[in-house]
Amino acid sequence: MLGFFITWLIVLLAVALVFLFTNNDRKLQKVLFVALGVRLALMIIDAYIWPGLPYLTAADASRFQRRAVEFSQLGLSELITWPLPGGAGLFAYFMGTVYAFLGTEESTVIRAINILAGIFSIYNVYHISRMLWTRKIALQNAFILALFPLLAVYAQNLLREAFVVYFLTLGVRYYVSWIKHKRIHHIALAVVGFGLSTALHMGALMALLGLGVYQIWLIMTSLAKGRIIMFLSSAVAILIVGVGLHYLNTTGWGLSTIGGEGAIGEFGVEELIEERGGDRRKGRASYLQGLSASNPVDVLWQTPIRGAFFLFSPMPWMVGNLWDLVGLFDGLMYFLVLFGIYKSFPVIRKDPAALAMLVMLLGMIVAFAWGVTNYGTGMRHRAKIISIAICLTPYLFPLRKLVQSKVKKGLEVVYTTKFLQP
């Protein structure tokens, strides 16, 4: 009973926070309440009406639940002094702490907390899109994510996805704000967001590394063009990113996949390629069986192939049941979003913040392309990148298109339909 009360107290908190943060923006408020309603409906069905709804993520959620129960059995006194784990263990530790207070049957509390994180991930995406493009695009992007099917599923299930995406979008939001407004504390907050996201999942580390690479490129181009302010701000960004990476490396947070503490710089390139590029595929949903890599040349030619399968699987010839059709539809939506990024590139390349986000997105795609070996897991992992990808689509067929403006002497957005316009 206590868990039931706390669950709905968290839901009421979500409602109150939406009102608080969108008091002067009724349209955004409506979008966030749509997102809340969709996720809440899924939670009610799964937790109270049809327990064990056969989601694509059932096996993954069960593993988190089992590990959380193991943590809860340690007792509160031992959990408080337990060294914080990283990656999947960190979220299971959080779940176990909640269970130690309330009991292992109170999973709806975790679901409600995840819903809260999912709602404010969309809030972050709205602000990112508004800083990059226009308010109309920002509202439309937020509304798309509010209704994005599998993102809604993952945002209320017993998985870490909701918090990985929240901290990732928080990091990107403050990074874009820093690019636009040059407030130094924003780049520090960006690294905090990226760091917490990396602590939960190593895929976010590639976004942070991509950010560092992009800032190094900005330093070199700024020196070549004599842009002293850009050079200084980029140098500060590199310093803060470096400190963040050093902290992750010394603590091992989020680096368990490649060896934990001290892994950055000590894990051999060839060894890493052989470990991640080996043929680890098994099960009905696996793909590219027999494809393995052992050297950097293999990485070059295999990355586009692995990336395509990660983003768009299951392919039509892989469909064998109803859930595969769900995956096929999900892959089609990613194809449309990536096509939108391709068509939007003329304006992306003119905006330093958008271009940096594109580099971060590509880094995460490469990481997941090499880390995922079946499309069931792939659908869950690519849901981590959709919130970033949708921000890079001022062109999004069939909702928006870019046209050459003779008046403004550049590209501008034209709306082709009112569909999904909040």
Q: What are residue 400's phi and psi, to 5 degrees? A: -140, 155
422 part of a folded domain: no
In the chain, the percentage of residues whose pLDDT exceeds 70 is: 75
Q: What is the domain range of residue 196?
A: 2-415
421 part of a folded domain: no
* Lowest-confidence region among 68-82, 322-336, 376-390: 68-82
Half-sphere exposure of residue 146, counting CA atoms within 13 Å on the CB side? 23
> CA 231, CA 218: separation in Å to the nearest integer?
7
Query: pLDDT digit string (tens) for 74-106?
Result: 777 677 766 667 666 788 888 888 888 887 677
Q: Average pLDDT for residues 330-345, to the nearest whole number?
A: 92
Spatial CA neighbour of 61 closest among 107, 129, 124? 107
119 part of a folded domain: yes
Opening angle at CA 230, ends 227 and 231, nearest 5: 80
* Lowest-confidence region among 10-24, 219-233, 356-370, 382-396: 219-233
415 beta partners: 400
Residue 232 reports pLDDT greater than 80: no
Cβ–Cβ under 8 Å, residues 234 and 222? yes
Residue 308 reports pLDDT greater than 70: yes
In the chain, the percentage of residues whose pLDDT exceeds 90 is: 24
Q: Average pLDDT for residues 12-21, to the nearest whole number?
A: 94
Element (H, E) at 402: strand 400-405
Q: Which amino acid is at 117?
A: A
Spatial CA neighbour of 388 closest among 418, 421, 359? 359
pLDDT band at 342 (very low <50, low <70, confident <90, very high): very high
Predicted TM-score (pTM) of the model is 0.86
Please state the domain count of the chain: 1
56 part of a folded domain: yes
Between 292 and 195, residue with greater pLDDT: 195
Residue 409 reports pLDDT greater than 70: no
Element (H, E) at 401: strand 400-405
pLDDT band at 129 (very low <50, low <70, confident <90, very high): very high
Mean pLDDT of all residues belonging to the chain: 79
**Secondary structure class of 256 (helix, strand, coil):** helix
218 part of a folded domain: yes
Between 339 and 103, residue with greater pLDDT: 339
> CA 237, CA 231: separation in Å to the nearest integer?
10
265 part of a folded domain: yes
**What's the confidence (pLDDT) of residue 270?**
47
DSSP state for residue 257 in the 8-state scheme = G
**Secondary structure class of 261 (helix, strand, coil):** coil
Owner of token pair 């408020």: 29
